Amino acid sequence: MGMETELAKDGGSQRGFVRIVTFLYAAVLIVTLAVVLLFELPYDRISHTWITLTSLFFGETFLYGIALHYLTNSPRSRRLIPAYIAMGTISGVYLIVAIAFILIFSWALDVSAYTYGLLQFIVLGLAAIVMGLMALYMKNLELQEKGT
């Protein structure tokens, strides 16, 4: 009986953490939108603004997705912490590279919208490929744990 109550409490606290992470994610998206509109709109480059927002939203969503996956799969995710750390690192590196591309190619060099979008799309594709490889690695770890 005590074990069931403990599990119910743990599930409730996980939902609480999920709500907190979701609230933080929504707040980060709102702040990102406000900052990008503040700095991009005066330059009247609407296409750059949308590309910038999209790339930042993808980076933030990658991080949110990893945190949410970790929290919802808590018992088994603790055993897979190296894979989660690697996925979080990849997401963070993508976000840093996307920000660097914004500063270099959109603001400093002011490349065409086509070139800027293509560069951001290439970086997103590379990050997605590496994240997919890490997802395969994570699945392989899960299967190895079940086998042993």
Supply the pLDDT for residue 43. Answer: 74
pLDDT per residue as tens digits for the range 104-138:
999 899 999 999 999 999 999 999 999 999 999 98
Residue 57 domain-assigned (yes or no): yes
Residue 78 domain-assigned (yes or no): yes
Tokens found for residue 39: 């700095």
In the chain, the number of structural domains is 1
Tokens found for residue 20: 């907190």
pLDDT per residue as tens digits for the range 19-34:
999 999 999 999 999 9
Supply the pLDDT for residue 32. Answer: 97
Task: Tell me if 64 sits within 8 A of 32, measured CB to CB.
Answer: no
Supply the pLDDT for residue 8. Answer: 47
Residue 123 domain-assigned (yes or no): yes
Supply the pLDDT for residue 9. Answer: 53
Residue 28 belongs to what domain range?
Answer: 2-143
Residue 148 domain-assigned (yes or no): no
pLDDT per residue as tens digits for the range 12-71:
678 899 999 999 999 999 999 999 999 887 777 899 999 999 999 999 999 999 999 999
Residue that the structure tokens 């392989």 belong to: 140
CB burial of residue 62 (10 Å; 0-12, 13-18, 19+) = buried
How many residues would you count in the chain?
Answer: 148
